[in-house]
Structure 1
Amino acid sequence: MHIAPLSPHDPTELGGYELLGRIGHGGMGQVYLGESPGGEPAAVKVIKPSVVDSDTRLRFAQEVEILKTIWGARIAALLDADPEADQPWLATEYIEGLDLSRHVASHGPLPSLLAASLGATLAEGLATVHKQGLLHRDLKPANVLLGPNGPKIIDFGLAVFAESSVSLTAPNTVVGTPSCMPPEQANGEKPLTPAVDVYALGAVLLFAASGHLPYQAANIHVLFHQVTDPETSPDLSGAPDELVPLLTSMLAHQAQDRPALDDVVQQCRAVIEAQGFKVAQARRRLTSHTATPTPILDDLLPMTGAPTVPMAPTGMPDDGAASAVPSGDPGTESTLVLPPGGPEPTPTLIDHPVPDPEPRGAAGQAVATGPEPAAEPIPAPSATPAPGPPVKGRSRRSRHSVQARITAQRLREVYAAGATF
Structure 2
Amino acid sequence: MQTTPLNPGDPAQIGDFELLGRIGQGGMGQVYLGESPGGEPAAVKVIKPSVVDSTARLRFAQEIRILQTVWGARIAQLLDADADAEQPWLATEYVEGPDLGRHVMSHGPLPALLVLSLGATLAEGLSYVHKQGLLHRDLKPANILLGPNGPKIIDFGLAVFAESNASLTATDMVVGTPSCMPPEQANGVKPLTSAVDVYALGTVLLFAATGHLPYYTNNIHALFHMVTDPATAPDLTGTPSELVPLLTSMLSHRAQDRPTVNEVVKQCRALVEAQGLKLAQARRRLTTYTATSPQDLSTLLPASVPESAVSPPSAPPGPADVPLPDESSPASRSTHAPASASPAPASHAESPAQAEPPAPFAENAQDHRTALQQNAQDTPRRIRPVGRAPVRSLRHSAQARRTAQQLREVYAARARF
TM-score (norm 2): 0.73
CA distance in 2, matches of 1:100, 1:180: 14
Match of 2:408 among 346, 359, 368: 346
Q: Bigger relative contact order, structure 1 or 2, given CA contacts below 8 A and separation 6+?
A: 2
* Corresponding letter in the other structure for 1:92: T
* Corresponding letter in the other structure for 2:72: G
Q: Where do 1:13-412 residues align within 5 Å?
A: 13-292=13-292, 343-346=405-408, 351-352=413-414
Give 3-state SS (helix, strand or coil) of 1:44's partner: strand
Residues 69-107 of structure 1 show CA distances to partners (whole Å, capped at 9, x for unaligned) of 011000000000001000100000000000001000111
Deviates more, 1:270-279 or 1:90-99: 270-279
Instruction: Provide the residue aligned with 1:390 in structure 2.
Output: none
2:75–2:154 CA contact under 8 A, matched in 1? yes
Instruction: Provide the residue aligned with 1:396 in structure 2.
Output: none
Q: Quick check: which one's helix share is greater?
A: 2
**Residues 274 and 32 of structure 1: is their aligned pair in 2 closer, same or farther, counting only changes over 3 Å?**
same
Deviation at 1:2, TM superposition (A): 3.9
Deviation at 1:291, TM superposition (A): 1.4
Deviation at 1:11, TM superposition (A): 1.3
* Corresponding letter in the other structure for 2:257: D
2:281–2:416 CA contact under 8 A, matched in 1? no
**Residues 347 and 218 of structure 1: is their aligned pair in 2 closer, same or farther, counting only changes over 3 Å?**
closer
Give 3-state SS (helix, strand or coil) of 1:90's partner: strand
Deviation at 1:218, TM superposition (A): 0.3
CA distance in 1, matches of 2:143, 2:406: 28
1:278–1:353 CA contact under 8 A, matched in 2? no
* Corresponding letter in the other structure for 1:168: L
Which segments of structure 1 move beyond 3 Å, counting only runs of 4 or more?
Answer: 336-343, 347-355
Gaps of 5+ in 1: 294-314, 318-325, 327-335, 356-421
CA distance in 1, matches of 2:400, 2:182: 41
Deviation at 1:345, TM superposition (A): 2.1
Residues 345-368 of structure 1 show CA distances to partners (whole Å, capped at 9, x for unaligned) of 23787633759xxxxxxxxxxxxx
2:285–2:410 CA contact under 8 A, matched in 1? no
Give 3-state SS (helix, strand or coil) of 1:22's partner: strand
2:272–2:278 CA contact under 8 A, matched in 1? yes
Deviates more, 1:164-173 or 1:47-56: 164-173
CA RMSD of superposed structures (Å): 2.2
* Corresponding letter in the other structure for 1:87: Q
Residues 237-260 of structure 1 show CA distances to partners (whole Å, capped at 9, x for unaligned) of 111110010000000000000001
1:186–1:227 CA contact under 8 A, matched in 2? yes
**Residues 96 and 342 of structure 1: is their aligned pair in 2 closer, same or farther, counting only changes over 3 Å?**
farther
2:18–2:34 CA contact under 8 A, matched in 1? yes
CA distance in 1, matches of 2:80, 2:7: 24
Give 3-state SS (helix, strand or coil) of 1:37's partner: coil
* Corresponding letter in the other structure for 2:408: T
1:123–1:264 CA contact under 8 A, matched in 2? yes
Pick the structure with greater CA Rg: 1
Residues 140-174 of structure 1 show CA distances to partners (whole Å, capped at 9, x for unaligned) of 10000000000000000000001112111112110
2:288–2:409 CA contact under 8 A, matched in 1? no
**Residues 100 and 123 of structure 1: is their aligned pair in 2 closer, same or farther, counting only changes over 3 Å?**
same
